[in-house]
Amino acid sequence: MMNTKVHELLNQQINKEFYSAYLYLDFSNYFKAKGLDGFANWYMIQAQEERDHAMLFYQYLQNENQIVSLDAIAKPDKVFACHMDVLRAGLEHEEYVTSLINDIYAAAYDVKDFRTMQFLDWFVKEQGEEETNANDMITKMELFGSDPKSLYMLNQELAARVYTAPSLVL
């Protein structure tokens, strides 16, 4: 039987990941309105990945015969004064999600729930990549964001991002 705290945290993470998808849809919406379709595409794909993450937690709990309880998804309510604000909010959010994954891992570790730890290993690695991507976006915007031609090129680069399904299969 799964530990109550581990179960609760895993269940909460479904909601957190769907919120992440919602947040990135909001980012995509921001950039679409600014005419930066490449950035909008990048965050649309990011939102798709977050939905995948939510479904992995959902599927894991169901596979473990645990009850899944779905909660309301919070409204993304950040107001952005500039493009860089969005990118910084992205990094801040990913650092927060990393802390949530670490908290679940610690709870699983405390009760020797090795199966959950093994499931979470993929997310530990994924969060490293998510933070790197968010940092890279900030660096590129710092370097190229103030020059219209460079911003155009960066937008083109981000337009090329394509969705790939998660490598973790349950």
Please tell me whether residue 26 binds ligand FEO under the rule CB under 6 A.
Answer: no
Residues in CB range of 137: below 8 A, 6 or more apart? 42, 87, 90, 91
Among 97, 104, 137, 158, binds ligand FEO (CB under 6 A): 97
Shortest approach of ligand FEO to residue 76 CB, angstroms?
14
Nearest to 10 by CA among 76, 59, 73, 46: 59
Half-sphere exposure of 113 (CA within 13 A, CB side): 21
Residues in CB range of 130: below 8 A, 6 or more apart? 94, 97, 98
Please tell me whether residue 113 binds ligand FEO under the rule CB under 6 A.
Answer: no
Nearer to ligand FEO, 40 or 54 (CB): 54
Shortest approach of ligand FEO to residue 125 CB, angstroms?
12
Which parts of 29-68 interact with ligand FEO (CB under 6 A)?
50, 53
**Residues at the contact surface with ligand FEO, assessed by CB under 6 A:** 17, 20, 50, 53, 94, 97, 130
